[in-house]
Structure formats: C-alpha cells, structure tokens
C-alpha cells in the first residue's frame, strides 16, 4: 500500500479503556472513519434509575460525512448494545459482523423499528473488507459466544491487530477456536505495527479453564442431582447451552427454559445451525410438563442476580410457572461480574433458605471465562511481535499489568502505551503522535430519555434516596397575599409524620415567617426563601438535608 506524507491512522477510544464494557473505537484515515464495536455498559449503584450507559456519540456525529461503517468483533452487549442509539443519527449505515452477531443486532433493531435504517452485511473468515484505505480480515477466535472475530487490518501505516475478546482453548467444543497460526501468518517476519489486546484476565495466571472441563463437571452434577437441576448462565453462551442440552438428552431429562433473552438467543442460534435443542424441550411461557423432578432441567436467566430475571422471580415466588424448592440443585454457570456480588450473594442465600443446593464457580469448575489468562495473552504478544502495544478492554489496573506483560515479551517501555477513553493515538509512517483528548462523557439512558439524566439529576436522586423530600403546599390570594390554604407539609422519605409532627409544625411557622417577609413577592422568590429557611432548619435540628419543594399557587 503506497504511503505519502499525509498517511495516518488515528484511533480514538470512546469507551472500554479503564472499565469493563462500553467498547467502542473510531479509526480515522485520510479516506474516512470506521467504528470498531459499539457497546454499552450496565449501570452501577451510582446510576440510580438509569437503564443503560452508552458512549458519547458527539465524536461520531462530527465525522458523519466521512463515516464508512461499523465493524463488530462479536455479539455481546458491551460490543453491540449501543447500536440502537447510533443508527438513528447515521441512517443507512453499514454494519459488518459475523452471521450470529448480526442476527442479534437484527433483533435489537427490529424491536425498535430501526431495521430499515441500517444495512447489515455478514462477513466470514474468508472476507477481505475494504473500507476506505483500511482492509479488514476476520480471524475466528474462541470466546463465550459463537462467531467471534479478531481483526487483522492493513492500514496506510502498517498492519494492525485487534484481538477482540478471545481465549486460547486447545480443544474447543464446537468450532475452530483460536488458531494462532493465522495470527503468526498475518504478522509475518516483521511483526505487526500495533497490537490492541483484551486485558480482562491479565491478573489470572496460567490458562483459562477449557469448556470440555466445564462439561465434565456439569456431567457430574447431572449424575448426582436427586431432583430438579436449575441452571442459570449468560444467555449468549450458546456452546454452554448446547452442553446442557446434550447432558439432558444423555440423562433422560426434559429441558424447560425461562427468560426472554434466553429464548431469543436459542431461536436465533437454532436458525443458523449453531444449536440443536433436545427432543423434550419446552418454554415455560407456553407450557410446563407434569414430570417427576428427577426428569427436569430448568434453564433460566438471572446469572447476575437481576431482580426481574426468571431465577430471581422463582426465588421470590413471583414466577407464574416455576419456583425454587427443597431438593433442587442450582448451578450458577457464570462468573460474578464486579458490582453484582451483593445481589448474587443475596440470591444464593435465599435459595439455601428454600432448601436448594447451590453451586457456583468458587465451589466447582462449572464456568470457564471467555477471556484469555496471562499465559494466553503472552502467547498472543509473542505470536505477532508488535512494534507498538495498546491494552484494551479492562479496568485501569488491567491495562497497566498488560502493558508490563508486553514489556516482558520484548516491547520497549515507551512503545507499551496506556490510553484512556478520549485519548487518541495517531500512527504515522514513521512515528506516533498523542492527540488532544476529546470529550467522551457517558450518555445515560433512562426509559425513553437519552442524555437528559446527568450529574445534577443523579445528585438529586441520591439526595432523595438518602435524605428524602418535603413538599410545602400553599395557596395565596393574588390580590391581598393572604393564605387561602396551607401551608401543608408533606414528608416523603424524610421523617415519619406521627413521630415528628411537632417538627413539621415548627417548620410551618418558618414558612409563615417567609410569607410575612415576602408578602408581595412572586412565587419563585417566595419559594426560594422557603427552601433556604427550611434546609437550614432541618440541618440544625436533625442534621439532615432533604429536598425542599415549595408548591405555591396564586388565585
């Protein structure tokens, strides 16, 4: 590929660096801009009421005239989940990915009436995709979802490898796994110019547990369980689901599934020939067979303790068809995502109270991560011998440790580069340049509102949750300023009326004082005076700071 003095590649991470989730990057060359992945992140405890977190799309909208398309590595939510919020701004955008990845994207877009606004174009391991002066090749990798790809990219400034999410399983179950020869051949004798590599499991020594070992452990559970087996897992882990189906057939058990995402993913995988359901297969939404407990397997959503999931509703007695009961063997075949530990632990305790036996990854080898451990990450670095190394997909400590691992493998310290979201790196024909940081504040999605919940709204929600609210209702005569109704004090989450009635009566006196001092003031000015006076009073008496909402009506 010919080079000129204007050749460059600028990679701008919009998410996924310094955090788990929200994976999204912009790759810009003289001939256009490509987005690699477009993921979301699920809210943490600080995001009260927020449904999902998506990347800031301002940087994308600024280059919409030069936008060439979106290339997806695989179908997990943290890599495709933000597409429904991107596509309305880029109608007709081309989205490239594996068949299964695009099947999941198609379902998302169809639910929101956006399917006609994007062109979904499947790629395979044989595809060479030219977008501007970037030429993408797709290398199959082993991960916890089918049809995952690493990206080998020929650019105007050299060969780039983006690993996507991967692990190296020497004996993969149902596909080709991660073939390191493909990466070595792509790197050639000179190695790649830049390696961007998954950092999630860099803290774990050795190699990831293989899926075959997980299958063997699940087989022991099936052999020993005296009653029903209840299994919860990530609904996109099609290979694990197939293992459960195969074991159910082997042990003569019928399978009942419950959970919308699980049912959808099973349907899509079956349509594509990636999954084969057992002969005795039921969806709890439609029918639950009347069979002995030892003949049943329940496959349900809720691996992370989600309050509205099938498993959580079964535990709380709120599921219409199913429940957890004494004698059940519950298998939580997934890892505990940081931030969900409390919800999962509470769910496990509740299941033990109901008489179930619960297994999770700390007790038995019933889950294998989809991310490479330290020795596998080392193998990837040594296979492609990068001149430059940028760790991606991980919290900040993961990025630091992965950069140090790259240095152990021969990458010079100055060439192991730590980027954070918004910090763009430009590769030139002979050198690199760190660009000025671009704003990448998250966009919070709450119901149908996108971006209308920000720091101030979250702060008020925290105050409401921690301190409560006091409503002050009064009606004035517009002419005289006399009080026609009130002041009425309504406490919501602040104090119990019967115990603190005297306090609210004292607060009324302060409101009346403000009315006297601001007799002819407009409602806005009077309301501010009431707010300041009551906040000062409640802080002094109770050391609490509720939200004060004056509701003043002039008639």
Average pLDDT per 10 consecutive residues for the chain, totaling 555 residues: 68 94 96 96 63 85 95 96 93 96 96 95 97 97 95 97 95 82 96 97 94 94 97 94 96 96 95 93 92 96 90 95 96 83 91 96 88 98 98 96 98 97 96 93 70 61 72 84 83 74 84 82 86 89 86 85
Same domain, 260 and 307: yes
Q: Residue 24: phi, psi to the nearest 5?
A: -165, 130
179 in any annotated domain: yes
Q: What is the 3-state secondary structure (H, E, C) of 270-323?
A: HHCCCCCCCCCEEECCCCCCCCCHHHEEEEECCCCCCCCCHHHHHHHCCCCCCC
Same domain, 386 and 507: no
> What distance in Å separates the CA atoms of residue 328 and residue 358, rounded to the nearest whole number?
8
Q: For residue 214, how far is the Cα from the chain centroid?
A: 24
- Tokens representing 112? 């929101």
What is the domain-level CATH number for residue 425? 3.60.15.10
Strands 128-131 and 431-434: unpaired
Same domain, 491 and 544: yes
Same domain, 144 and 234: no
pLDDT at 346: 93
Number of domains in the chain: 3
pTM given for the model: 0.84
Domain's final residue, options 359, 394, 429: 359
1 in any annotated domain: no
What is the domain-level CATH number for residue 537? 3.10.20.580
Which domain does 462 fall in, by range? Answer: 455-554
Domain's final residue, options 419, 450, 481: 450
pLDDT at 524: 85
> What distance in Å separates the CA atoms of residue 228 and residue 314, rounded to the nearest whole number?
14
| H or E segment to which residue 459 belongs | helix 455-467
523 in any annotated domain: yes
434 in any annotated domain: yes
C-alpha Rg value of the chain to the nearest Å: 28
470 in any annotated domain: yes
> What distance in Å separates the CA atoms of residue 38 and residue 56, rounded to the nearest whole number?
11
- Tokens representing 226? 């005296």
pLDDT at 553: 86
Task: Determine the angle formed by the axes of helices 396-408 and 374-384, rounding to 10 degrees.
Answer: 50
135 in any annotated domain: yes
3 in any annotated domain: no
Same domain, 75 and 181: yes
Same domain, 315 and 219: yes
> Do 82 and 38 touch, CB atoms closer than 8 A?
yes
pLDDT at 446: 63
Catalytic amino acids?
198, 371
Kindly tell me the sign of the dihedral angle through the C-alpha atoms of 281, 282, 283, 288.
negative
Domain's final residue, options 327, 359, 391: 359
Same domain, 110 and 94: yes
pLDDT at 290: 93
| H or E segment to which residue 154 belongs | strand 148-155
Same domain, 120 and 265: no
What is the domain-level CATH number for residue 313? 3.40.50.10710
Same domain, 401 and 421: yes
Same domain, 222 and 96: no
């Amino acid at each position: 590929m010919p080079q000129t003095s204007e050749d460059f590649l600028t990679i701008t991470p919009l998410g996924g660096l310094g955090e788990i989730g929200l994976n999204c990057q912009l790759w810009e060359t003289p001939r256009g801009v490509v987005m690699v992945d477009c993921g979301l992140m699920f809210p943490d405890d600080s995001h009260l009421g927020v449904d999902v977190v998506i990347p800031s799309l301002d940087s994308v909208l600024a280059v919409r005239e030069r936008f060439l398309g979106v290339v997806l590595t695989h179908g997990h939510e943290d890599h495709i989940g933000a597409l429904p919020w991107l596509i309305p701004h880029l109608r007709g955008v081309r989205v490239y990915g594996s068949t299964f990845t695009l099947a999941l994207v198609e379902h998302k877009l169809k639910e929101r009436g956006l399917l006609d606004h994007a062109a979904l174009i499947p790629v395979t391991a044989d595809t060479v995709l030219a977008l501007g002066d970037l030429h993408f090749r797709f290398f199959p990798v082993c991960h916890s979802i089918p049809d995952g790809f690493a990206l080998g990219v020929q650019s105007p400034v050299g060969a780039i490898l983006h690993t996507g999410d991967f692990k190296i399983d020497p004996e993969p179950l149902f596909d080709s796994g991660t073939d390191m020869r493909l990466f070595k051949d792509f790197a050639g004798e000179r190695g790649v110019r830049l390696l961007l590599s998954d950092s999630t499991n860099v803290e774990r020594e050795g190699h990831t547990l293989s899926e075959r070992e997980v299958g063997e452990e699940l087989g022991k559970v099936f052999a020993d369980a005296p009653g029903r087996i209840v299994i919860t897992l990530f609904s996109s882990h099609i290979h694990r689901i197939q293992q459960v189906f195969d074991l159910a057939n082997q042990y003569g058990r019928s399978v009942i599934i419950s959970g919308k995402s699980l049912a959808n993913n099973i349907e899509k995988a079956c349509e594509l020939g990636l999954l084969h359901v057992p002969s005795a297969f039921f969806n709890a939404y439609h029918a639950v067979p009347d069979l002995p407990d030892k003949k049943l397997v329940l496959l349900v959503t809720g691996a992370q303790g989600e309050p509205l999931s099938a498993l959580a509703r079964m535990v709380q007695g709120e599921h219409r068809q199913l429940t957890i009961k004494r004698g059940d063997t519950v298998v939580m075949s997934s890892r505990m995502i940081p931030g969900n530990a409390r919800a999962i632990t509470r769910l496990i305790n509740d299941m033990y109270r109901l008489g179930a036996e619960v297994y999770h990854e700390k007790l038995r080898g019933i889950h294998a991560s989809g991310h490479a451990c330290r020795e596998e990450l080392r193998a990837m670095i040594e296979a492609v011998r990068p001149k430059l190394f940028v760790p991606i997909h991980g919290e900040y400590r993961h990025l630091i440790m992965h950069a140090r691992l790259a240095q152990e493998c021969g990458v010079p310290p100055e060439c192991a580069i730590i980027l954070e979201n918004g910090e763009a790196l430009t590769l030139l024909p002979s050198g690199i340049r760190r660009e000025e940081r671009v704003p990448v504040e998250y966009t919070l999605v709450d119901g149908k509102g996108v971006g209308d919940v920000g720091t101030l709204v979250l702060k008020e929600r925290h105050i409401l949750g921690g301190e409560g609210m006091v409503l002050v209702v009064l009606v004035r005569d517009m002419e005289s300023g006399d009080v026609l109704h009130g002041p009425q004090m309504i406490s919501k989450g602040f104090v119990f009326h019967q115990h603190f009635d005297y306090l609210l009566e004292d607060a009324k006196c302060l409101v009346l004082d403000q009315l006297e001092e601001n007799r002819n003031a407009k409602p806005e000015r009077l309301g501010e005076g009431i707010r300041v006076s009551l906040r000062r009073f409640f802080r002094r008496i109770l050391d609490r700071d509720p939200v004060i909402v004056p509701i003043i009506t002039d008639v």
